[in-house]
Amino acid sequence: MSEILKYIPRTLNIKKIVTVLSMFILFMTSGFPLFAQQQRFPKPEFESGYTQPVTSMPEARSEFFAIFDVFVLIFALSLISWLILKRRSRKGVLAVSVFSILYFGFFREGCICAVGSLQNVILALFQPEYSIPLSALAFFVIPLVYTLFFGRTFCAGVCPLGAIQDVLLLRPVTMKTWLQKVLGLIPYIYLGLSVLYAATATDFIICRYDPFVGIYRFDATFFMFSIGAVFLLLSAFVARPYCRFFCPYGVLLNWMSRFSKHHLTITPNKCIQCRLCEDSCPLGAINKPVPVKVMEDRPSATKRFIRLSLIIPLLMLLGGWTLSNFHENLAKVNSKVRLANELMSFNPDVMLPSVEIEAFKSAGTPVEELYSQAAIIIEQFYVGAWILGAFLGLVFGLTLSSLSVFKYREDYTPDKGECVSCARCLKYCPVEK
Amino acid sequence: MDDKGKNRREFINTCFRFAAGATLVGVTGVLAHKTVSGNTLWQIDTTKCTQCGRCATSCVMSPSAVKCIHVCDMCGYCDLCGGYLRPNVKNITTGAENQLCPTGAIKRKYVEDPFFEYEIIEDLCIGCGKCVKGCGAFGNGSLQLQVSHDLCVNCNQCAIARDCPSGAFSRVPADEPYKFSGFKKEKKA
């Protein structure tokens, strides 16, 4: 017996061997993925008075700023609306722009912004399990309300995206009108796609392709950095490229601004048609006077307007039908649809499983459930594509019709929808108050 | 005619303005009962996480805001730690070739026979999840990947959430910012 005892190693080594043995057994049996948390080894009882360290759980950023931001937004909007409409001061607008770049941009790192908040609102409307934070809802509604009364003063100097483009405008180059009109259709496409993807909980594409957030965070992927750099360089020569040709929230602001109660006027009093402000707008948003004798004769213009208006339903149907044919391609952005497609074409004999397929297999949900979820989402995309296509057809048709509308105008006025109230034109007007 | 025309246009303007305002009020009303007062945060559900390694690469911040956090309550304090050592090491030493962690962020400290304490150096952890995988496979699963909220900028759309193959990312209310699994946790650090 004592001989055998000689060969039994000390307690420490027995524990070591037991651990190694159990690990070996587990390693052999771990052919299938195991549940991550299992108490395989009991919690030790410490004899030496060892105190266990506290699990670190760093605090999240203070919620105070989420509410404070809303108050700053209201204050900045009120201030800039007063500066534009009452004081008519470009310097004031510039000051508020710099403040917005510093506060909403660099300090709050450009997120959450009013442009992205529209996706949160859409997600909250269509997906029952998402609850929208109050600050996101506030950032969506408040600029729209102010625009409804005072015009696009939000764009002028409060929006951090607009402010940085505005401040960097050094040498404005005039753009051909037809190019402006064509590129002006892109925001509608962007808005429609953002709404579609947010409603189906697929992706927030405004956030994904936001060019300026990487600059405000001082940290960006290469892609984010590249598009940011492109937009900033472009802003030096083309006024506000993102605002004019991409911003989806700008479409909503455009609509609100058209019916605004008060709007920026170039002249503080009455326009005397001195033409000094004609080329003062870098965005090309000033409507020039159209004297009666230059106008087209009524009958032919009316006929064309009626003809165009009748083809609007046709354009809507055409648009809806065209886009609905592509609804599966649109749906492929959704991760569930992509995974379902991958699983259907997965052949275990010749292919290696991708990370997504492995993760799905280890989660243990039945494949049929995934397929039915994906089928529901594809159905949603079908309906969504019809609506989006019809919407784009309507926008295209209305744009064409608006080119045939009577434009008799005596004065130089800013276009109520397009003007971002940047107040650059004010100093060109010689009229005294 | 001019005056009448202006009044008519202003009337139509006012009508549309009321309609737009009513739409806004309507949207706010519909969403009023779905608002949460605080912000939501992003967090990983550790029961769904498959430690694919995308947390380290997909975050918009560099280094990633996802860190491995050690839940000491669950730890077995093993000599042969499944999260610290690679499986099938020849000589069990603390050499870099034997460690799972690519940045050497786990610190091993002797406590008493035969227990060792493992601590994660946060500044070195990149959130790759290799130690989490090892600990989950061979140990108690006390090493868990979580979004560290002092680093996370709380994007509206989390880039890692988009790339997560198992859908482990979700929005959590700000008063429950961490989703550890296992034992009840102690108070915050």
Touching check for A335 and chain B: CB below 8 Å? yes
Let me know whether B120 and B76 are in one domain.
Answer: yes
Lowest mean pLDDT among A144-148, A217-221, A275-279: A217-221
Higher per-residue confidence, A400 vs A20: A400
User: Encoding tokens for residue B109?
Assistant: 């400290």
CA of A138: which chain B residue's CA is closest? B28
Let me know whether B72 and B146 are in one domain.
Answer: yes
pLDDT at res. A1 = 46
User: Domain residues for B30?
Assistant: 1-35
Mean pLDDT of chain A: 86
Q: Which amino acid is at B144?
A: Q
pTM over 0.90: no
Percentage of chain A surpassing pLDDT 90? 56
In this predicted model, what pLDDT tens digit does every residue of A226-274 receive, in sequence order? 999 999 999 999 999 999 999 999 999 999 999 999 999 999 989 999 9
Is the per-residue pLDDT at A101 higher than 90?
A: yes
Query: Alpha carbon of A311 to those of A304, A391, A396, A401, B133: distances in Å?
Result: 11, 14, 11, 10, 62
**ipTM of the complex model:** 0.82
Let me know whether B56 and B141 are in one domain.
Answer: yes
> Alpha-carbon distance A118 to A112, whole Å?
11
Give the torsion sign (CA, A233, A238, A240, A243): negative
Contact B30 A125 (CB under 8 A): yes
Touching check for B59 and chain A: CB below 8 Å? no
In a domain, B184, yes or no: no
Mean pLDDT of A385-391: 95
Let me know whether B129 and B48 are in one domain.
Answer: yes
For A397-427, the three-class secondary structure string (H helix, E strand, C coil) is HHHHHHCCCCCCECCCEECCCCCCCCCCCHH
Higher per-residue confidence, A24 vs A187: A187
List of chain A residues whose C-beta atoms are within 8 Å of the C-beta of residue B35 = 131-134, 137
Tell the burial category of A341 from Cβ atoms under 10 Å away from its Cβ (0-12, 13-18, 19+): middle
Touching check for A44 and chain B: CB below 8 Å? yes
> Alpha-carbon distance A350 to A361, whole Å?
18
In this predicted model, what pLDDT tens digit does every residue of B136-183 receive, in sequence order? 888 888 899 999 988 888 888 888 998 888 888 998 888 888 888 875
pLDDT at res. B172 = 87
Mean pLDDT of chain B: 85
List of chain A residues whose C-beta atoms are within 8 Å of the C-beta of residue B13 = 259
pLDDT at res. A265 = 92
Mean pLDDT of A353-369: 84
Mean pLDDT of A27-49: 60
Local confidence band at A37 (pLDDT 50, 70, 90 cut-offs): low
In this predicted model, what pLDDT tens digit does every residue of A198-237 receive, in sequence order? 999 898 999 989 999 889 988 888 888 899 999 999 999 9
In a domain, B185, yes or no: no
Lowest mean pLDDT among A182-196, A217-231, B86-100: B86-100
pLDDT at res. A410 = 87
Q: A185: helix, coil or strand?
A: coil
Let me know whether B122 and B76 are in one domain.
Answer: yes
For A221-242, the three-class secondary structure string (H helix, E strand, C coil) is CHHHHHHHHHHHHHHCCCCCHH
What domain count does chain B have? 2
pLDDT at res. A163 = 95
Contact B141 A38 (CB under 8 A): yes
pLDDT at res. A34 = 41
In a domain, B180, yes or no: no
Local confidence band at A35 (pLDDT 50, 70, 90 cut-offs): very low
Mean pLDDT of A280-291: 89
Higher per-residue confidence, A46 vs A249: A249
Is the per-residue pLDDT at A278 higher than 50?
A: yes
Let me know whether B65 and B96 are in one domain.
Answer: yes
In a domain, B92, yes or no: yes
Q: Which amino acid is at A136?
A: A
Local confidence band at A20 (pLDDT 50, 70, 90 cut-offs): low
> Alpha-carbon distance B177 to B189, whole Å?
14
List of chain B residues whose C-beta atoms are within 8 Å of the C-beta of residue A109 = 153
In a domain, B93, yes or no: yes
Is the per-residue pLDDT at A8 higher than 60?
A: no
For residues B185 and A55, the answer to whether their CB atoms sit within 8 Å is yes
pLDDT at res. B186 = 43
Let me know whether B26 and B46 are in one domain.
Answer: no
Contact B154 A61 (CB under 8 A): yes
Mean pLDDT of A147-170: 94
Closest by CA position to A412, among listed A295, A322, A246, A285 = A285
Lowest mean pLDDT among A32-46, A49-63, A407-421: A32-46
DSSP H or E run through A94 = helix A90-100
For residues B179 and B172, the answer to whether their CB atoms sit within 8 Å is yes
Nearest to A148 among B21, B38, B181 (CB): B21
User: Encoding tokens for residue A91?
Assistant: 């310097």
pLDDT at res. A235 = 94
Contact A355 B52 (CB under 8 A): yes
Give chain B's radius of gyration (CA, Å): 26
Cα A393 off chain centre by: 22
Let me know whether B95 and B112 are in one domain.
Answer: yes
pLDDT at res. B66 = 93
B window 90-109, beta carbon within 8 A of A: none
The C-alpha of A151 sits at a distance from chain B's nearest C-alpha, in angstroms, of 12
Touching check for A21 and chain B: CB below 8 Å? no
Contact A134 B157 (CB under 8 A): no
pLDDT at res. B183 = 57
pLDDT at res. A4 = 45
Is the per-residue pLDDT at A39 higher than 90?
A: no
Is the per-residue pLDDT at B185 higher than 50?
A: no
Touching check for A30 and chain B: CB below 8 Å? yes
pLDDT at res. A17 = 59
In a domain, B183, yes or no: no
| DSSP summary character for residue A158 | I
The C-alpha of B151 sits at a distance from chain A's nearest C-alpha, in angstroms, of 8
Give the torsion sign (CA, A307, A308, A309, A313): positive
Tell the burial category of A271 from Cβ atoms under 10 Å away from its Cβ (0-12, 13-18, 19+): middle
pLDDT at res. B187 = 40
List CB contacts of B133: < 8 A, sequence separation 6 or more: B51
Contact A20 B180 (CB under 8 A): no
Touching check for B127 and chain A: CB below 8 Å? no
List CB contacts of A326: < 8 A, sequence separation 6 or more: A385
The C-alpha of B186 sits at a distance from chain A's nearest C-alpha, in angstroms, of 6
- The count of other CB atoms within 10 Å of the CB of residue A349 is 4
Touching check for B182 and chain A: CB below 8 Å? yes
B window 148-167, beta carbon within 8 A of A: 148-157, 159, 162, 165-167
Lowest mean pLDDT among A3-17, A359-373, B132-146, B170-184: A3-17
Local confidence band at A81 (pLDDT 50, 70, 90 cut-offs): very high
Nearest to A41 among B140, B148, B180 (CB): B140
Let me know whether B107 and B157 are in one domain.
Answer: yes
Closest by CA position to A388, among listed A334, A329, A333, A324 = A324
Closest by CA position to A418, among listed A186, A194, A114, A184 = A184
Touching check for A119 and chain B: CB below 8 Å? yes
Local confidence band at B6 (pLDDT 50, 70, 90 cut-offs): confident
DSSP H or E run through B133 = helix B130-138
For B92, how many CA atoms within 13 A lie in the half-sphere containing its CB?
13
